[in-house]
Amino acid sequence: MDTLLKYIRRNVKVKVTLLLAPPLIFLAIWFYAPFMIVGLYSFDMINIYREITFTPSLTHYSKVLSWTGAAGIFLRSLYFAGVTVALCLLIGYPVAYYISFKVKKYKDLFIILFIIPFWVSFLLRTYAMMSILDERSIFNTILVSIGLINSPIKIMYTDAAVILVMVYDYLVMMVLPLYANLEKLDKSLLEAASTLGADPVKTFLKVTLPLSMPGIMAGFLLVFIPSVGEFVIPELVGGPNNYMVGNIIYEIFMGARHWWTGSALSMLFIAFILSLVIVYVRRVGERGLAI
Amino acid sequence: MMVNRRDVLKVAVTGVLGLAVGGAGGYFSRQAEIESLKKEIEELSKQVSMPTVKLEPNLNIYNWTYYINRNIVDWWAKENNVQIVYDTFESIDELVAKLQTGTSGYDLAVVSDSPLQELANLGVLEPIDLKKIPNFKYIPDRFKNPYYDPGNKYSVIYSYGTTGLGWNSEEVSPEVTAWADVFEVDRHLGKYKGKITMHTDTIETFGAALIYLGRDPNSTKDEDLRDAVDLLKKQKPYLAGYASTEEYMEGLEARRFLISHAYNGDIAGIIYASDEREITITKQLEYISYTVPEEGALAWADNFVIPKGAKNIEAAHTFINFIIDPIVSAICTITVKYPFPSGRDYVPEEIRNDPVIFTPDELLDKLHWTRPFTPEERAKRAEYWLELMAA
Amino acid sequence: MKIMSSFLKIFTIMVFLFLYSPIIVMIIFSFNESKSLGVFTNFSLKWYEKVVTNPEVWRALYNSFWVGAVVTFVSIVLGLMMAMAVTRYSFSGKSILESLILIPIIIPEIAEALSLMIMYIFLNIPLGPVTVIIGHIAFSISYVTVVMRARMAGYDKSIEEAARTLGANELQTFFRITLPTLYPAILAAGLLAFTLSFDDLIKTLFTTGPGFKTLPLVIWSSAARGGVSPELNSLSSFALSISFIFALFRLRTERSVGR
């Protein structure tokens, strides 16, 4: 026993193996293996009776790639996710900046107040949001009755509703990494800049903004990835024009129950997201994902 | 088995109906009818000899939401000392996803006609032993031996109906009569722009379009699907969306939608403000109507099946037998407003004669039934559907 | 500068209003007599009474809590191991490993949920609480690892070395020194893992078995007939006020301790 411990203590390789084996084995079985199966389906290597066949084919990929509809929906998802990210950044950055730089006394309180709404179940939040966006909502009633607007604002079942709810649901994912990043900034740098005569706008553009890039990038990924694959929100608040990639994947897997095509679609989607992240990691380093 | 018909009646009248004194006001006024019902039941109970079996303690049931009288299920569980796990699903996709595993853990499920064949072909259903279901004789003949399950090998009818158009009769005029109303811009489609929904289920919406075009609603031919998609694409800008049960039920009631492609029983459910634990027998919302379009429509039937891997096949049979008992079926019918075939003669007249609930037989004969599709056929239809969604 | 500051202030307040307005609507209408979320008819506590006596909701809440607890514990243990290996040692294939860890975070949940479901079908594993927990852990590990690694990056190893010089063995050092210093990281990661599990709908929907429902599943199915039941809004309002009070209380104690 003692000698074994000593051996482990001395040998880094053994230590690393012991540390990594349990989590990696778990992930291998319950995360990577399922994707291998999806991969096998996508290459037509599993038949309807769930037997593995060794006759790979690319038919399902070529089918998916030839869909005219899929490309349009894919672009739409990118557009929705892009707008969502942009809005989250535009809304989230000033808030993170304000809390980090301007709030002196109750910083924690602000952050906690910011997080609390996100403790409500995401579904309940979304349903509550839907009740506000509704044509007959209390807000519309009030706005109409005080004469601010002539007729109720119609948002439900439009692009705007999908984006608004996504912004609402994912805003926290943008603000928290941004705030963490701004907090870590060396504020003496900013002071130095202003002592050297840079005006606030210049200081912000030349010092603060570049230094907060990792936070922005982290927020970007954390908002962009779930938004681009979102399918519950368009399902709940979207209209006929709000189908997204997540909805196609669902429709092919669950509605059409064609696992082969659905798998090919999933694999292509994952490949796209992965390549996006690889580009990102190359640029900022993995540490950029730290929350 | 301790179920005694008199007990059932007691629950029916005092327990179940009693829960909704307000809503059931109309029902109580017809004491005489209840009395005659009672007599009939007593007669029936003399004819039926119930098996007395001690059942295994657990029964896992998987059904659509709001599709049974929950009180009577609880009552059955208590009487038989069976612990029932009653789970529900909102879309057929969820159901098939679970049942196709063969390890779903459910002992009993309710499946529609077309996926039923698919599941039977996959070999994930247990055969049903009709000998253990003496009440099967109360099922009207037209619902026995269905085309989708010859000889009732795997299934027993649960409920049936049509997919047509639910609409607001106060705000919509003229009356909705045909698919043309929702496909032609110079009819309701243009007039009620942004207030009309089609169904989210691709089978239903393609079915409607193909029927309007005079084609086979089950077609998977490219030329038919092409025309259907072109028609639906033209319709799409005028729609409020493609709505599922939860969306159109809420939307029609709130008058946000004026015409919705819907299941008949859902519309009946709104009209009577149905609840799975209360019985409401008077119409609550007079402004909602339902029409089976004159061009024809898709009909459907839901069925009890026993999934493979079921651990309590005995209790599953007993439960099926219980639900298709005419009185229990009648109670379920007046609760959820979907028709349970064997209960037809035992429900109050206005329910029996309400065409939204009980589709008239002669109409039913003229409707189309769906057939099961192969994965390739489904993928092909999905491809056209995506084109529509992307448009 | 002044203008900028007040602009930021107003902007932040508006964002908070945006965040809270649905929540406030939810709370107000949890006291509404009718089911509507649009018209307030009468003040009533009926939804609170209903939720208190609804066993399905409580069972689901209980399930969500214990699933969340198991998921949090297991993923913290596994995530901590991974984070320690990555931050403390250099070994070949480390960069590949680091990308492997990231994959569960970046894969859209719907794809992940469906592949896990297919895996279970493929292996004929009966669905139930275990399959739900496995699914939750599979993506929590990565989040936990990433959060912990970020916090461990600046970790000062000299205290550990000091302890070791003073004769503490590996286990003692780990439990007496390493773990307490990592406490904030573990707390942050644990909170994240718990929240992810507690609020998960999609994966749970595809991997659960008979009778096993978590809170999001109950909410999802209660919404099946036009709008979510006000019972759940009242439950949520109640839970929210508890966490609100808890948060403020913690803040106060922290501050007084700080002084």
Contacts of B386 in chain A (CB under 8 A): 67, 69-70, 73, 243, 248, 251
Tell me what the pLDDT averaged over chain C comes to.
Answer: 84
Binding partners of C (≥3 Cβ pairs within 8 A): A, B
Residue B15 reports pLDDT greater than 50: no
Residue B25, pLDDT above cutoff 50:
no
Higher pLDDT, C53 or A6: C53
Task: Give the separation between CA A85 and CA A217, rounded to whole angstroms.
Answer: 10
Supply the ipTM of this predicted assembly: 0.85
Average pLDDT over residues C155-164: 78
Q: Which residues from B are below 8 Å from A252, CB to CB?
A: 379, 382
Q: Do B264 and B290 fall within a single domain? A: yes
User: Number of folded domains in chain A?
Assistant: 1
Nearest to C81 among A19, A262, A287 (CB): A19
Same domain for B141 and B196?
no
pLDDT for B30 equals 44
pLDDT at position B21 = 32
Identify whether the C-beta of residue B110 lies closer than 8 Å to the C-beta of residue B125: no
Same domain for B382 and B238?
yes
Residues whose CB is less than 8 angstroms from the CB of residue B69 and which lie 6 or more positions away in sequence, other chains included: B16, B276, B277, B279, B331, B332, B335, B336
Q: A248-252, A259-263, B119-123, C166-170: lowest mean pLDDT where?
A: C166-170
Between B29 and B234, where is the model more confident? B234
User: Are B303 and B149 spatial neighbours (Cβ–Cβ below 8 Å)?
Assistant: yes
What is the tens place of the pLDDT at every residue in B171-216?
A: 999 999 999 999 999 999 999 998 999 999 999 999 999 999 999 9
* pLDDT band, residue C250 (cuts 50/70/90): low
Q: Which of A77-91, A151-165, B324-338 has the highest mean pLDDT?
A: A77-91
Tens of pLDDT, residues A169-202: 999 989 988 888 888 787 777 778 778 877 888 8
* pLDDT of A109: 81
Question: d(Cα A149, Cα B229) in Å, to the nearest integer?
Answer: 39
Give the pLDDT of residue B28.
39
Q: Nearest CB to C78: which of A26, A131, A137?
A: A26
Contact B85 C211 (CB under 8 A): yes
Q: Which domain holds residue A95?
A: 67-118+171-289
CA distance C122 to chain A (A): 7
Q: pLDDT at position B49, please?
A: 42
**Min distance B202 CA to chain C CA atoms (Å):** 19
Structure tokens at A46: 């599993």
Interchain CB contact of A72 with B (< 8 Å): yes
* Domain formed by C64-214, architecture: Orthogonal Bundle (1.10)
Q: Which of A264, A225, C58 is nearest to B382 (CA)?
A: A264
Domain assignment present for A268: yes
Best of B64, B82, B87 to substitute, by most chain C Cβ atoms within 10 angstroms, is B87
Report the CATH number at residue B368: 3.40.190.10
CB count within 10 Å of CB B33 equals 12
Gap between the Cα atoms of B135 and B124, Å rounded: 25
Separation of alpha carbons A183 and A174, rounded Å? 14
Percentage of chain A exceeding pLDDT 70 = 96
Please tell me if residue A248 touches chain B, with a CB cutoff of 8 Å.
Answer: yes
Structure confidence at residue B42 as a pLDDT band (50, 70, 90): low
> Can you give the residue range of the structural domain that contains B230?
162-299+364-390
> Which chains have 3+ CB pairs within 8 A of A?
B, C
In this complex, is the C-beta atom of C206 within 8 Å of any C-beta atom belonging to chain B? Answer: yes
Answer yes or no: are the C-beta atoms of B109 and B307 closer than 8 Å: yes
Q: Do A274 and C114 touch (CB under 8 A)?
A: no
Residue B36 has pLDDT above 60, yes or no: no
pLDDT score, position B109: 97
B159 DSSP β-pair partners: B302
CA A94 to chain C, closest CA, distance in angstroms equals 6
Query: Could you give the C-alpha distances from B233 to A54, A73, B153, in angstroms and in order?
Result: 41, 15, 41
CB-based contact C109:A32 (threshold 8 Å): no
A50 touches chain C (CB under 8 A): yes
Query: A180 and C146 in contact (C-beta within 8 Å)?
Result: no
Shortest Cα–Cα distance, C110 to chain A (Å): 7
Structure confidence at residue A23 (pLDDT): 94
Position C224 confidence tier, pLDDT thresholds 50, 70, 90? low
**For residue B174, is the peptide bond before it cis, meaning its omega torsion is within 30 degrees of 0?**
yes
Q: How far is CA A76 from CA A51, A69, A234, A239, in A?
A: 36, 11, 12, 13
Same domain as B382, residue B249: yes
Determine which helix (DSSP H) or strand (DSSP E) holds B300, and give its type and residue range: strand B298-307
Over residues B217-236, the mean pLDDT reads 96
C255 is written with which tokens? 């501050």
pLDDT of residue B33: 52
How near does any CA of chain A get to the CA of C115, in Å?
Answer: 5
Q: Which amino acid is at C139?
A: F
Alpha helices in B100-221 (DSSP H): 113-122, 180-183, 190-191, 202-212
Band the pLDDT of B324: cuts 50, 70, 90. Answer: very high
Whether the CB-CB separation of B110 and B316 falls below 8 Å is answered with no
| Minimum CA–CA partner of B276 in chain C | C225
Whether residues B220 and B337 share a domain: the answer is: no
Give the pLDDT confidence of C71-103 residue by residue, as tens digits.
Answer: 999 999 999 999 989 888 888 888 888 878 888
- CA–CA separation, B177 and C212 (whole Å): 44
Inter-chain residue contact A256 with B241, CB threshold 8 Å = no
**Which phi and psi angles does A211 have, rounded to 5°?**
-70, -25
Q: Among partner residues C119, C135, C143, which is closest to A37 by beta-carbon distance?
A: C119
Q: Is A261 on the interface with B (CB under 8 A)?
A: yes
Give the model's pLDDT for residue B131: 95
The pTM assigned to this predicted structure is: 0.84
* Residue-level pLDDT at A104: 80
Name the CA radius of gyration of chain C, rounded.
23
Residues B153 and B31 in one domain: yes
Does position A284 have pLDDT exceeding 70, yes or no? no
Do the chains contact at C118 and A131, CB–CB below 8 Å?
Answer: no
Chain B residue with CA closest to C118: the answer is: B101
Angle CA(C151)–CA(C153)–CA(C158) in degrees, nearest 5? 110
Helix axes B375-390, A259-284, angle to 10 degrees: 50
Query: Is B92 in the same domain as B112?
Result: yes
Question: Which residue among C124, C210, C226 sits closest to B102, beta carbon to beta carbon?
Answer: C124
Residue A47 has pLDDT above 50, yes or no: yes
Residue B195 sits in the same domain as residue B66: no
As for how many domains chain B has, the answer is 2
Q: For residue range C110-152, what is the model confidence (pLDDT) as tens digits?
A: 888 989 998 998 888 888 999 999 999 998 999 899 888 877 7
Q: Which residues contact A215 (CB under 8 A, 6 or more apart)?
A: A96, A177, A178, A179, A180, A181, A182
- The partner residue sitting opposite C224, judged by closest CB among B65, B101, B104, is B65
Highest-scoring range by mean pLDDT, B84-98, B275-289, C159-173: B84-98
What CATH number is associated with residue A283? 1.10.3720.10
Q: How confident is the model at residue C1 (pLDDT cuts 50, 70, 90)?
A: low
Q: Which among B100, B103, B250 has CB closest to C226?
A: B250
Contact C126 B309 (CB under 8 A): yes
Residue numbers in A near B202 (CB within 8 A):
251, 255-256
pLDDT of C174 > 50? The answer is yes
Decide if A254 is inside a domain: yes
Do both B369 and B231 map to the same domain? Answer: yes
Q: Is B66 on the interface with C (CB under 8 A)?
A: yes
Contact B106 C127 (CB under 8 A): no
Residue of A157, A254, A260 for testing the chain B interface, max B β-carbons within 10 Å: A157
Neighbours of B134 (CB within 10 A): 16
Put simply, the answer to whether C120 touches B101 (Cβ < 8 Å) is yes
Name beta bridge partners: B305.
B109, B155
Pair B128, B238 in one domain:
no
Q: Determine contact, residues C104/A31, Cβ cutoff 8 Å.
A: yes
**What is the structure's pLDDT at C55?**
86
pLDDT band at C170 (very low <50, low <70, confident <90, very high): confident
CA distances (Å), B367 to each of A198, A266, B340, B363, C56, in order?
79, 38, 19, 7, 40
Give the tens place of pLDDT for each residue, B294-307.
999 999 999 999 99
Name every chain A residue with its beta carbon within 8 A of the beta carbon of B96. 254, 257
* Degrees to nearest 5, angle at CA C202 with C196 and C206: 125
Partner-chain contact C82 A289, CB within 8 Å: no
Task: Tell me: pLDDT of B2 over 50.
Answer: no
